[in-house]
Amino acid sequence: MNHTIIFSAAAFAAVLCILWPVIKRRRFVRDYPYEKKMLLTGVEYRFYKILKERCDRYHLLICPKVRMEDFLYVTDRRNVNKYRGYIKSRHIDFILCDRDLHMLAGLELDDSSHDTYAAAKTDAFKNNVFKKIGVPLYRIPVEPKLYKTRIDEMLRELIKTF
């Protein structure tokens, strides 16, 4: 009888040891306050579809919403945190790349939110960074009727450079 109780207790403990991480993880994951959302807004997605159609002709790849820190590094080693702070939470709407993922251009889709002082300051920062790294940054206003024309102009100009 004692062996049965000991065996049962050991079996229960073994099962609990195996299942505890799963039980704990499920509870922990359930406590995360996150929900999936679309990567692009409706306006950005409509623009992206036209951009993709045009870029496919030149075999260009489109990377949406790329964080600036993912394609820049800080060269001032004494002030890394200061300059990293400017780029770690900012993104570029679209980065155009060749087949080998070499960055050819940045692309910002500008809507009315870019009319504020804070946005103008951020836009100027991005413009200056792209000048510094020698990569063109194109700004296209949100005017759906002109997307094809603006994209074609941009691509003609960009294709001349490579």
**Is residue 4 scored above 90 in pLDDT?**
no
pTM, rounded to two decimals:
0.78
Residues 74 and 84: beta-carbon distance below 8 Å:
yes
The set of residues, in sequence order, having a beta carbon less than 8 Å from that of 6 and lying 6+ positions away, is none
CA atoms within 13 A on the CB side of 61: 9
Distance of CA 44 to the CA centre of its chain: 13
Evaluate if residue 22 carries a pLDDT over 70. Answer: no
Contacts of 108 (CB under 8 A, 6+ apart): 92, 93, 94, 123, 126, 137, 138, 139, 140
Helix (H) or strand (E) holding 94: strand 91-97
DSSP 25-44: HHHHHHT-------SS-HHH
- pLDDT at position 64 over 60: yes
| Average pLDDT of the chain, as a whole number | 89
Which two three-digit tokens encode residue 116?
A: 């504020």
Instruction: Tell me the per-residue pLDDT of 79-120, one tens digit each, with 9 for 90 and over.
Output: 999 999 999 999 999 999 999 999 999 999 998 777 888 999
Residue 104, helix vs strand vs coil: strand
* Residue 64: HSE in the Cβ half-sphere, 13 Å Cα cutoff: 13
User: Would you say residue 26 has pLDDT above 80?
Assistant: no
**How many Cβ atoms sit within 10 Å of the Cβ of residue 109?**
21
Q: pLDDT band at 68, cuts 50/70/90?
A: very high
